[in-house]
C-alpha cells in the first residue's frame, strides 16, 4: 500500500482525502501484482508507479478549468487505467469510460477497479472507433477525452472528435519536445473538426505537456 512518504507526493483532493489515497493505493497494488504477466507498466514498484503513472495523470485536474466537474470522461487506449483512474478519483460524481481494445489488459483494469472499489469507472474492451457501437450514448456527449501515450495527435483526434460534447475537450499528454510536424497536423485535424486549439500547458507534476483541443459551447 502507499506509505506516508508516497502519499505526500500526491496533490490536491487525492492527497487530502484519505479514502481517495487508499483507493489509489489499492488500484496500484492490483496493477503491480498483475504486471509481471501482462506488462501493464514499466514501473517496478510503488514509488515508480507514482512517478510514472500517477503524477503525470494529475494533469487531468489542470486540463479542466471549470468549477463544475465533467459529467462524462473517456480515456482512449487506457492500457493500465491511467489517467482515467485519477479522473474517476478526482471527480467521484463523473462517469468514466476506460477504452482498451486488448482484452487481457481490459480485464486487468476491470479487476484492479474492483479491488480498489472504484465504482464510477467502467471498462470498454474495444477500439475507440467502436465506441459508438458499444456505448451509443457517448457519441457527442463526452465532456473530457484523455489521450496518453496513444498514437499521434492527428490520428487520435480524428477518432475521438465525434464523441465530444459542445463545450468539451480532447486532452493529449505529450513530451515537452513534441515534433512540430505532429503538432501542426494535430492542429489541422482539430480545426477541421471544429475544435479550438488552446495554448499548451506544462504538467505541474511529472514531465511533459498537455495539448488541448476545445469544442465550442455553441457547436452543433
Q: Does residue 6 surpass a pLDDT of 80?
A: no
Q: What is the pLDDT of residue 39?
A: 82
Q: What is the pLDDT of residue 42?
A: 76
Q: What is the pLDDT of residue 3?
A: 47
In sequence order, what are the residues at sequence separation of 6 or more whose Cβ sits closer than 8 angstroms to the Cβ of residue 71?
93, 94, 95, 143
CB atoms within 10 A of CB 186: 25
Q: Is residue 9 very low, low, confident or very high in pLDDT (cuts 50, 70, 90)? A: low
Q: For the segment 39-69, what is each residue's pLDDT rounded down to a tens digit?
A: 888 778 777 888 888 889 989 999 999 999 9
Residues 63, 201 contacting (CB under 8 angstroms): yes
Q: What is the pLDDT of residue 138?
A: 97
Q: Does residue 147 surpass a pLDDT of 80?
A: yes
In Å, what is the CA distance from 166 to each residue of 9, 39, 67, 157, 219?
A: 35, 37, 17, 15, 5
Residue 113 to residue 96: CA distance in whole angstroms: 12
Partners of 96 in the beta sheet? 73, 121
User: Burial of 165 by CB count in 10 Å (0-12 exposed, 13-18 middle, 19+ buried)?
Assistant: buried
Q: What is the mean pLDDT of residues 74-103?
A: 95
Q: Where is average pLDDT lowest: 132-146, 151-165, 206-220?
A: 206-220
Q: Does residue 203 surpass a pLDDT of 70?
A: yes
Q: What angle do CA 84, 56, 5 make, to 5 degrees?
A: 105
For the residues of 100-169, what is the DSSP string, one character each? --SHHHHHHHHHHHHHHT--SEEEE-S-GGGHHHH-GGGTTTEEEEEEES-S-HHHHHHHHGGGEEEEEE
Q: Which residue has the higher pLDDT, 34 or 163?
A: 163
Q: Is residue 20 very low, low, confident or very high in pLDDT (cuts 50, 70, 90)? A: confident
**Grid coordinates in use for 182?**
505532429
Q: For the segment 94-129, what is each residue's pLDDT rounded down to a tens digit?
A: 999 999 999 999 999 999 999 999 999 999 999 999
Q: Is residue 4 very low, low, confident or very high in pLDDT (cuts 50, 70, 90)? A: very low
Q: What is the pLDDT of residue 14?
A: 62
Q: Does residue 8 surpass a pLDDT of 80?
A: no
Give the start-to-end residue ranges of the domains of the chain. 54-214
Q: Which residue has the higher pLDDT, 192 or 17?
A: 192
For the residues of 38-79, what is the DSSP string, one character each? H---S--SHHHHIIIIIHHHTHHHHH---SSPPSEEEEET-T
Considering the chain, what is the average pLDDT of its residues? Answer: 90
Q: What is the pLDDT of residue 218?
A: 64
CATH 3.40.50.150 given to domain 54-214: yes
Amino acid at each position: 500500500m502507499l506509505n506516508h512518504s508516497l502519499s505526500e507526493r500526491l496533490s490536491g483532493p487525492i492527497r487530502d482525502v484519505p479514502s481517495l489515497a487508499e483507493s489509489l493505493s489499492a488500484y496500484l497494488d492490483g496493477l503491480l501484482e498483475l504486471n509481471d504477466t501482462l506488462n501493464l507498466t514499466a514501473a517496478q514498484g510503488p514509488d515508480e508507479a507514482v512517478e510514472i503513472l500517477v503524477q503525470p495523470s494529475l494533469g487531468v485536474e489542470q486540463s479542466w478549468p471549470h468549477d463544475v466537474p465533467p459529467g462524462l470522461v473517456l480515456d482512449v487506449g487506457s492500457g493500465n487505467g491511467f489517467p482515467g483512474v485519477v479522473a474517476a478519483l478526482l471527480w467521484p460524481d463523473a462517469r468514466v469510460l476506460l477504452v482498451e481494445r486488448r482484452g487481457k489488459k481490459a480485464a486487468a483494469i476491470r479487476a484492479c477497479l474492483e479491488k480498489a472499489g472504484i465504482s464510477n469507472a467502467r471498462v470498454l474492451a474495444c477500439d475507440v472507433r467502436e465506441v459508438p457501437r458499444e456505448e451509443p450514448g457517448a457519441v457527442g456527449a463526452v465532456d473530457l477525452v484523455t489521450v496518453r501515450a496513444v498514437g499521434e495527435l492527428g490520428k487520435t483526434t480524428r477518432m475521438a472528435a465525434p464523441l465530444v460534447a459542445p463545450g468539451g475537450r480532447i486532452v493529449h499528454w505529450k513530451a515537452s519536445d513534441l515534433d512540430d510536424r505532429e503538432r501542426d497536423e494535430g492542429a489541422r485535424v482539430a480545426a477541421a473538426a471544429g475544435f479550438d486549439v488552446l495554448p499548451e500547458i506544462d504538467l505541474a507534476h511529472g514531465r511533459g505537456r498537455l495539448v488541448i483541443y476545445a469544442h465550442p459551447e455553441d457547436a452543433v
